Amino acid sequence: MENTAIIIAAGLGTRMKSSLPKAAHKLAGREMLRHLTMAAESVFTRVVVVVGPDMPALEALAAPHGVVVQAERLGTAHAARQAEDQFGEGLVAVFYADNPLVSPATMQALLARAQADDAGLVLLAMTPPDPGKYGRLVMRDGYVSRIVEYADATPEERRLTLCNAGGLAGKATDMRRWLAAVKAENAKGEYYLTDIAAIAQAEGVKVAAFEAPYAECMGINSRAELAAAEAALQTRLREAALESGVSMLAPETVFFSADTLLGADVIVGPYVVFGPGVTVEPGAEIKAFSHLEGCVVHSGALIGPYARLRPGADIGPGAHVGNFVEIKAATLGAGAKANHLTYIGDAEIGPGTNIGAGTITCNYDGKAKHKTKIGAKVFIGSNTSLVAPITVGDGALVAAGSTLTGDVAPNTLALGRARQVNKPKRP
């Protein structure tokens, strides 16, 4: 069956106090809108994003999915109706970009419930730790009797814990009819998506509730709520890593990006941060206080403590990157070592090479970046400066304290330092 997900992302998010649209803010290094579209595209035939006017950033984030524009912000039902031409003939589910953590499994379960014969409309529900001012779902005989907003609820209704999470699903033909029947009879003069529940019930249609974990349904309208959602997502990512065979000595101190890939038997020390685009192959170890982003760490490599891998770093099998070493846009061959106080940028380091403490690849001349190439089984002495572009051949030895501006042939000794002179003290 052809099913469609509509994601409403037209909100400005004024409470975020940001120049960015609310749905462009990130959780675990990924924009809120992208969290939802990536989850939805694994479940639905079609994904359509509703944005407000003048939101090119969100339109770009929505790609390659369809985008429709809500020219006037007249409420959530009005926003959903803008995508009516994209509904298709199967089921339609509506989600909100500021509820970005709904999982594919929950989306699939919501659709399965909507396909059952007993209910024509299914509401996504949750039980928050603190129901607060969420709208309550009043249940009767296993179905939703009505949605009551906190401000309109009686003291008894406020004690209910099952709350409306915002998402819903139903047949496309029904959704078109119900959305057309929504009226703006409220103080704000807006068309509310929740009103379709009463419209469906007036037709004799039963409304069901599917309860999902609160951590997937929590809404984000402020920086504080963004931080709370980040904490919930990090918990989910840590649990997934542990389940996949990763060892973490202090999981609560490790921070992941949504796309972090760690192989089995990877060991992660305390206070490690994984930025976007990191892959760590099985058997590697990331020691404490290291920061990785846009890099690949191959099997058996040892990183840190206090190492920084920047985008383009490719650390070979069994290689060592030690404390206070920074690597950017560089490959470190199998078994190579850079154990202390070193910067390697725009470089190729051959297998088995040792980079001494304090070594710098001088890759930037003020206008352009240049490359350093170091062969296999080279020994670079401590406090060496390699002024790129430069090539050091296999088996070469560079004396400590050298500053090199020219190539070094294989199997030679290179010295690029002033001759030591010792003068006696005057009487």
pLDDT (tens digit, 9 = 90+) per residue, 233-285? 999 999 999 999 999 999 999 999 999 999 999 999 999 999 999 999 999 99
- Is a pLDDT exceeding 80 seen at residue 9? yes
**For a pLDDT cut of 90, what percent of the chain falls above it?**
90
pLDDT confidence band for 188 (50 / 70 / 90): confident
Burial of residue 154 (CB within 10 Å: 0-12, 13-18, 19+) is exposed
| Predicted local distance difference test score (pLDDT) of residue 319 | 98
pLDDT confidence band for 12 (50 / 70 / 90): confident
Mean pLDDT for all residues in the chain = 95
pLDDT confidence band for 13 (50 / 70 / 90): confident
d(CA 284, CA 324): 18
SS3 45: coil
CB 218 within 8 A of CB 132: no
| Predicted local distance difference test score (pLDDT) of residue 145 | 94
**Based on C-alpha coordinates, what's the Rg of the chain?**
29
- Is a pLDDT exceeding 80 seen at residue 39? yes
- Is a pLDDT exceeding 80 seen at residue 165? yes
**For a pLDDT cut of 70, what percent of the chain falls above it?**
100
Q: How far is CA 28 from the centre of its chain?
A: 4
- Is a pLDDT exceeding 90 seen at residue 301? yes
- Is a pLDDT exceeding 90 seen at residue 296? yes
- Is a pLDDT exceeding 90 seen at residue 62? yes
Burial of residue 87 (CB within 10 Å: 0-12, 13-18, 19+) is buried
Measured between alpha carbons, how far is residue 309 from residues 294, 355, 359, 363, 371 in Å?
8, 16, 16, 16, 18
Residues whose CB is less than 8 angstroms from the CB of residue 259 and which lie 6 or more positions away in sequence, other chains included:
29, 30, 276, 277, 278
| Predicted local distance difference test score (pLDDT) of residue 54 | 87
Arithmetic mean of pLDDT, 300-315? 98
Arithmetic mean of pLDDT, 36-50? 97
| Predicted local distance difference test score (pLDDT) of residue 391 | 98
| Predicted local distance difference test score (pLDDT) of residue 420 | 86
| Predicted local distance difference test score (pLDDT) of residue 152 | 85
Arithmetic mean of pLDDT, 366-387? 97
3-state helix, strand, coil in the chain (%, to 5): 25, 30, 45
Arithmetic mean of pLDDT, 30-54? 96
| Predicted local distance difference test score (pLDDT) of residue 185 | 84
Better-predicted residue by pLDDT, 65 or 419: 65
- Backbone phi and psi for residue 272, each to the nearest 5 degrees, phi listed first: -100, 140
Q: How far is CA 246 from the centre of its chain?
A: 19
Which positions are annotated as active-site residues? 340
pLDDT (tens digit, 9 = 90+) per residue, 93-117? 999 999 999 999 999 999 999 998 8
Burial of residue 365 (CB within 10 Å: 0-12, 13-18, 19+) is exposed
Give start and end residues of each alpha helix (H) in 244-333: none
| Predicted local distance difference test score (pLDDT) of residue 215 | 94
pLDDT confidence band for 14 (50 / 70 / 90): confident
pLDDT confidence band for 408 (50 / 70 / 90): very high
Residues comprising the chain, all counted: 427
- Is a pLDDT exceeding 90 seen at residue 369? yes
Arithmetic mean of pLDDT, 224-231? 96
Arithmetic mean of pLDDT, 71-76? 92
pLDDT (tens digit, 9 = 90+) per residue, 129-150? 999 888 999 999 999 999 998 8
pLDDT (tens digit, 9 = 90+) per residue, 310-328? 999 999 999 999 999 999 9
| Predicted local distance difference test score (pLDDT) of residue 427 | 79
| Predicted local distance difference test score (pLDDT) of residue 205 | 95
d(CA 319, CA 298): 8
